[in-house]
Amino acid sequence: MNPVKSKLNFASDYTKGAHPAVLSRLVATNLEETPGYGQDAYCEEARDLIRRACACPGARVEFLVGGTQTNETVISSVLRPYQGVIAAETGHIATHEAGAIEAGGHKVLTLPQHAGKLDAGEVRRFLQDFFGDDNHEHMVMPGMVYISHPTEYGTLYTKEELCALRAVCDEYRLPLYLDGARLAYALACPDSDVTLPDLARLCDVFYIGGTKCGALFGEAVVMPDPALIPGFFTLIKQHGALLAKGRLLGLQFGALFTDGLYEKIGEPAVRAADTLRRALVQKGYALCFGSPTNQVFCLVENRKLAEVGRSVEYSFWEKADDDHTVIRFATDWATTEEDIRALTGLL
Amino acid sequence: MNPVKSKLNFASDYTKGAHPAVLSRLVATNLEETPGYGQDAYCEEARDLIRRACACPGARVEFLVGGTQTNETVISSVLRPYQGVIAAETGHIATHEAGAIEAGGHKVLTLPQHAGKLDAGEVRRFLQDFFGDDNHEHMVMPGMVYISHPTEYGTLYTKEELCALRAVCDEYRLPLYLDGARLAYALACPDSDVTLPDLARLCDVFYIGGTKCGALFGEAVVMPDPALIPGFFTLIKQHGALLAKGRLLGLQFGALFTDGLYEKIGEPAVRAADTLRRALVQKGYALCFGSPTNQVFCLVENRKLAEVGRSVEYSFWEKADDDHTVIRFATDWATTEEDIRALTGLL
Amino acid sequence: MNPVKSKLNFASDYTKGAHPAVLSRLVATNLEETPGYGQDAYCEEARDLIRRACACPGARVEFLVGGTQTNETVISSVLRPYQGVIAAETGHIATHEAGAIEAGGHKVLTLPQHAGKLDAGEVRRFLQDFFGDDNHEHMVMPGMVYISHPTEYGTLYTKEELCALRAVCDEYRLPLYLDGARLAYALACPDSDVTLPDLARLCDVFYIGGTKCGALFGEAVVMPDPALIPGFFTLIKQHGALLAKGRLLGLQFGALFTDGLYEKIGEPAVRAADTLRRALVQKGYALCFGSPTNQVFCLVENRKLAEVGRSVEYSFWEKADDDHTVIRFATDWATTEEDIRALTGLL
Amino acid sequence: MNPVKSKLNFASDYTKGAHPAVLSRLVATNLEETPGYGQDAYCEEARDLIRRACACPGARVEFLVGGTQTNETVISSVLRPYQGVIAAETGHIATHEAGAIEAGGHKVLTLPQHAGKLDAGEVRRFLQDFFGDDNHEHMVMPGMVYISHPTEYGTLYTKEELCALRAVCDEYRLPLYLDGARLAYALACPDSDVTLPDLARLCDVFYIGGTKCGALFGEAVVMPDPALIPGFFTLIKQHGALLAKGRLLGLQFGALFTDGLYEKIGEPAVRAADTLRRALVQKGYALCFGSPTNQVFCLVENRKLAEVGRSVEYSFWEKADDDHTVIRFATDWATTEEDIRALTGLL
């Protein structure tokens, strides 16, 4: 079978395999023998590299396979059974994880989104109202705050916004959890002032996305306080999230964190997305949500859309009105300027 | 970092990477662009190849990442909330999956093992007793039978034994589920009379193990009746078991089911294990459990064991008495006769 | 200890014990010996009486102890693990059941409320949008519709509104579940055109509330199709909802369904509430939500409220603005005109 | 309907209603108005009486409705999600609670029973073996010890045995939980040396059974360390275990703990059981399990059993051999010497 690349593909950032540096490492070590379950030297090495990149030498780092799995394992492990997790109404856990958080016994407590983000002030008011309600012991107690960075709309928290959320979390003693499925594209964003050490300082737990950022698969959970989740290894196993050949994760993250690759890997994607955004504006399309990262959202007339769809894969996002649709183009670490030229030529 | 192969490694069958045919396919297709979540042409191709190998053209085939994940997703999806799953007391789900079945809300109903296997007659008596008990509506109703093949002791069901279990399952209308984490090593066993088409005929659902049988990771769930689990795709997602780059599974299983590779891939492992068993007997070691597959269990004096442990990685199995231990050597698809000679030289 | 009735109590409809007809039956039969777990003759009798009152001779009727328990047991028993339940954002299961539905593994899918009610058209649009979304297999599938009648705002569905919901449920093959915690106060409402036989015809499952309607405790689940929930007895037990001395429930519902008591028992409450509503309006208070049943909601100036609170127990409902609060007065089957006079004298 | 007492009834200890002192209190207070959910003065009074009876002034006391509900709420609230509960293989939670513990996500880790009891030495060995197993992080970690007193066989722990279990629990920092569904019959046993203050000193949490010991229903959970379960009120609600008219529980336990009623209420039952045991032995029946409490187990020839069954309700316990059956007669707080004479006359 030989699938021919018949169309330009901007449908998502997980349509390709791995960055060459990642893949070649898997190939080079293929017949080596290592212990399983993440207990091997490659995982240890990757953990060290990540701790160093986060300037957090005491952090616990564990590798899981995918994003939904990571979210459900971390969240259900941190929450007590009477607690729920606060998230923006557009948060991935609230929408596109097939109810994984609820399947683990916990409510997702949604708040309004602002360009995909939670607002610290609104979180505080929600918590004030909750604890001020005489009936709050009959209700699900907020036990954690979930944010994604970049968000589902490709937007980014500023350091100031993260600090404001951290302050609310401190007031109410809530762990702050950041879903970094696309974190490389945030780090590569010239206007973003949030670094890995910032995340390690401001979050109680976050994950560094591999699947969408150059790995075949894999997410690295970072817990600055290694005691945050007692029994975490067993919980990873229980959630079916413990890879037998754990070294595959160590090898990939080792490659991604060698010579600062992870912090640079998103640059071509963001540059390509910027080029695309400029071209779209020039051609009269309206951009949506204000994403500065590798996801480009724009408004397209439905008639035009049918035409575009014949030669480009994109993602349907939402119906805007009877005649217009919001669509998404996603670039990735392997997107070239040539791909963008080809795409803009069609728009 | 350069791990030196300082020791012979017979600790398990998942210490290495992938079979070259599998790996080269991942490399060759690395920069191709495909849809995610198992909706790509490589997955479709692999599904077809598996259906053909199972002589079951109507089967539904889905790919998951690991064994515990597959067991918990399948079992909790098949059972109704008032039901439990029957398993041998040594069954993987009853022992080494960190309570994943219970975390999904279901009891594992254990019966005695016989060389790691369930006995059809005992299953029938258990069911008779259960439904004959006036209080059975206060108890967990058996809703499924779980077996592993090879078992955790490396032993195999005969076709006759599987037919007998099927007959009990038919009497009580229970689905029969077979965990084939090491299925390749069963299929490669010259004395085994059970084929893939037999499994498709006798089981309601089974999985073909990839992780321990030549893949980097991956398990293929086969359901002869595609309607067995409504909402299965969503359930896979909910359990965090849906790989974003699903094609990685399709590519690997496609390679394993091209030219009958999967049915042959275990042969070197079984041959090596047979050689090792003969050598052990010759040297006066007692073999345990009667495994004819790639797992070799034997009784070793503790003094001897300390010596062996200096140059060979093996698995501790259980304490036999104060002076002896049962240990396991596992061979795999890449084990050579030379590896075995080196090992037997040390025993 | 002798609690003195120092204050008028309109805080809720579960402040008192049982209707005399209920209590006297418990006393009269106290030393009789019956089998446990609802298998006794009193439960059978009560089931028959309820089937007759519902004009549904084939219905299955089971007795549980409380409302949250009933909701979580029924809902988690009806839903498949990939499904959630649609409810108004003010629905009891969405707000004040401490996450019991989520603890059972299911998401509550909230829609806007209109005077506490779901709108059939909005439910249809939600379902259309859901199944029209390409990503819906990554989302929680709606598997049931939950309504309360009276609602949490004391309002009532008309027969037409229920028929409209039924039609949507039929289109999408969703079970319709009605929470009748306060059902007696709906049946006693002169303007309501919904009868018990209507509910049996229009719902797949509903419960007839006892706790707030004259019983000490107890809710009667009615399933017109007795096969709706396989294993229901075992599920009741598993949820800790099976009363050992089940006859207590049979005795109480037997009393409530003798001589049509249940359908009349709410009349004094509704009459009293009507009187109170008229008095409030006369005194210049604004009523809220339009409740015609035993719950009376009104807007009170905060200064006035402090004064009222010294001599009357009421329920805080919500802050209206900085100077006003919505409060609730609840009447019950035992509220007298004299109680209302005393209350209105204080307002 | 007027059920005629046609047969002697020794089927169980929950065939009747409530002790007169309990019932009359419910009647006397029926029309009083109190807050709901256990926040009333009657509950406070009962809590105080129980604290005093347990000589444990700092204990937290909460009232739930039934035994399975109490077990699942307490156990799932104490355990972390990676932990299971140790119980005797005959423990109620392991057999007759319809999988409620597993439905809450936790495995019941069974050990052999000795006359229904756990042996402290065996618990210690189990824990040593568990933590000594290299794979224990892939297994369910023991997180609690569950015992019943009296056991399901009517037998009792001695104070020495409880102290031995406490010592093991201290070594491994496991909470010890005692299920006292029939505790009154233990306290009334002249040969038992275990008192309520002993339980408060030796257990981390236990419950004082009401349902089988003179109440209509209800169980009182006692936690000497009130901080044992954070969020316990919300968890009770979430499990559907929070009675709206909570005072019903307070009133009943208040009556049971006034003038030491609870500690005496089982005396007639134990005396009657002793009389019955002597009569059975005299008539040549073999007693089983050595129960000194209100449950009497004996071996009966099947032919004889058919005859007995025509005039007496008993409980089938288990088949002994092809010709004999173990049956149970249960006495209760209301059993008279006359009842026993009538019964022995028929044997």
Does an H or E element contain B33, and which? none
Q: Select the residue of D95, D98, D140 nearest B99 (Cβ to Cβ).
A: D140
Tokens 């309501």 belong to C192
List of chain B residues whose C-beta atoms are within 8 Å of the C-beta of residue D95: 139
pTM for the model stands at: 0.97
One of 3.40.50.970, 3.40.640.10, 1.10.3720.10, 2.40.430.10 is the CATH number of D20-258, namely 3.40.640.10
Cβ pair B46, B257 in contact under 8 A: yes
List of chain D residues whose C-beta atoms are within 8 Å of the C-beta of residue B106: 99, 102-103
Position C7 confidence tier, pLDDT thresholds 50, 70, 90 = confident
Q: Does C20 touch chain A (CB under 8 A)?
A: no
C-alpha distance from residue D258 to each of D21, D46, D61 (Å):
10, 9, 16
Reported as a single tens digit per residue, the pLDDT across C121-172 is: 999 999 999 999 989 999 999 999 999 999 999 999 999 999 999 999 999 9
Q: Does A238 touch chain B (CB under 8 A)?
A: yes
Nearest-CA distance A152 → chain C (Å)? 14
- Note whether D68 contacts C237, CB cutoff 8 Å: yes
Cβ pair A83, A142 in contact under 8 A: yes
**If you average pLDDT over residues C227-249, what whole number do you get?**
98
- Note whether C11 contacts D45, CB cutoff 8 Å: no
Sign of CA dihedral A164, A166, A172, A178: positive
Cβ-based neighbours of A26, under 8 Å, separated by 6 or more:
A18, A216, A248, A251, A252, B17, B23, B26, B216
Q: How far apart are CA B132 and CA C105, in angstroms?
A: 32
Q: How far apart are CA D243 and CA D249, in angstroms?
A: 8
Cβ-based neighbours of A94, under 8 Å, separated by 6 or more:
A87, A88, A108, A110
**If you average pLDDT over residues B254-272, what whole number do you get?**
98
Q: Select the residue of A77, A80, A234 nearest D231 (Cβ to Cβ).
A: A80
Reported as a single tens digit per residue, the pLDDT across A62-112 is: 999 999 999 999 999 999 999 999 999 999 999 999 999 999 999 999 999
- Note whether A135 contacts C99, CB cutoff 8 Å: no
**If you average pLDDT over residues D141-164, what whole number do you get?**
98
Give the β-pairing of B83-88 and B141-148: parallel
The whole-number pLDDT of residue C3 equals: 44
Phi–psi pair at C168, nearest 5 degrees? -60, -45
Position A5 confidence tier, pLDDT thresholds 50, 70, 90 = low
List of chain A residues whose C-beta atoms are within 8 Å of the C-beta of residue C105: 99, 102-105
The whole-number pLDDT of residue D7 equals: 86
- Establish whether this prediction's ipTM goes over 0.85: yes
List of chain A residues whose C-beta atoms are within 8 Å of the C-beta of residue C152: none
CB pairs under 8 A between B and C: 45
List of chain A residues whose C-beta atoms are within 8 Å of the C-beta of residue C84: 99, 102
Q: How far apart are CA C29 and CA D2, in angstroms?
A: 9
pLDDT of D2 strictly over 50? no
Of B5, B8, B7, B22, nearest to B336 by C-alpha is B8
Q: Does A134 touch chain B (CB under 8 A)?
A: no
Chains touching D (at least 3 CB pairs under 8 A) are A, B, C
pLDDT of A1 strictly over 90? no
Which of B37, B233, B238 has the most A C-beta neighbours within 10 Å, making it the best mutation to test the interface with A?
A: B238
- Note whether A235 contacts D76, CB cutoff 8 Å: no
Q: How far apart are CA B87 and CA D50, in angstroms?
A: 44
SS (H, E, C) A96-154: CCCCHHHHCCCCEEEECCECCECCHHHHHHHHHHHHHCCCHHHCCEEEEEEEECCCCCC
Nearest-CA distance D124 → chain B (Å)? 18
Q: Domain-by-domain residue ranges, chain D?
A: 8-15+265-346, 20-258
Q: Does D5 touch chain C (CB under 8 A)?
A: yes
Reported as a single tens digit per residue, the pLDDT across A286-331 is: 999 999 999 999 999 999 999 999 999 999 998 899 999 999 999 9
Q: Does A84 touch chain C (CB under 8 A)?
A: yes
Cβ-based neighbours of C338, under 8 Å, separated by 6 or more:
none
Report the percent of chain A where pLDDT is more than 70. 98
Cβ pair A257, A48 in contact under 8 A: no
Return the CATH number of the domain spanning residue range C8-15+266-346.
Answer: 3.90.1150.10
Position B5 confidence tier, pLDDT thresholds 50, 70, 90 = low
Q: Select the residue of D15, D217, D240 nearest C68 (Cβ to Cβ).
A: D240
Cβ-based neighbours of A318, under 8 Å, separated by 6 or more:
A325, A326
Tokens 């080792």 belong to A254
Q: Does B343 touch chain A (CB under 8 A)?
A: no
Which of B101, B106, B134, B137 has the most C C-beta neighbours within 10 Å, making it the best mutation to test the interface with C?
A: B137
List of chain B residues whose C-beta atoms are within 8 Å of the C-beta of residue C137: 233-234, 237
Reported as a single tens digit per residue, the pLDDT across C194-219 is: 999 999 999 999 999 999 999 999 99
Phi–psi pair at C193, nearest 5 degrees? -105, 15
Q: Does C318 touch chain A (CB under 8 A)?
A: no
Cβ pair A319, A325 in contact under 8 A: yes
Q: Does D212 touch chain C (CB under 8 A)?
A: yes
The whole-number pLDDT of residue C4 equals: 45
Does an H or E element contain A193, and which? none
Reported as a single tens digit per residue, the pLDDT across B289-318 is: 999 999 999 999 999 999 999 999 999 998
Fold classified for A8-15+265-346: Aspartate Aminotransferase, domain 1 (3.90.1150)
Position A7 confidence tier, pLDDT thresholds 50, 70, 90 = confident
- Note whether C102 contacts A84, CB cutoff 8 Å: yes
- Note whether A27 contacts B32, CB cutoff 8 Å: no
Tell me how crowded residue B283 is: count the other CB atoms within 10 A of its CB.
Answer: 10
Q: How far apart are CA D196 and CA D187, in angstroms?
A: 8
Q: How far apart are CA D177 and CA A115, in angstroms?
A: 50
Reported as a single tens digit per residue, the pLDDT across A258-298 is: 999 999 999 999 999 999 999 999 999 999 999 999 999 99
Indicate the average pLDDT of chain D.
96
Beta strand extents in chain A (DSSP E only): 8-9, 60-64, 83-88, 108-111, 141-148, 176-180, 205-209, 219-223, 286-287, 295-301, 312-313, 315-319, 324-330
- Region of B310 please: left (phi>0), alpha (psi -120 to 50) or beta: alpha
Indicate the average pLDDT of chain C.
96
Q: What angle do CA A112, A117, A121 make, to 5 degrees?
A: 65
**If you average pLDDT over residues A41-53, what whole number do you get?**
98
- Note whether B244 contacts A211, CB cutoff 8 Å: yes
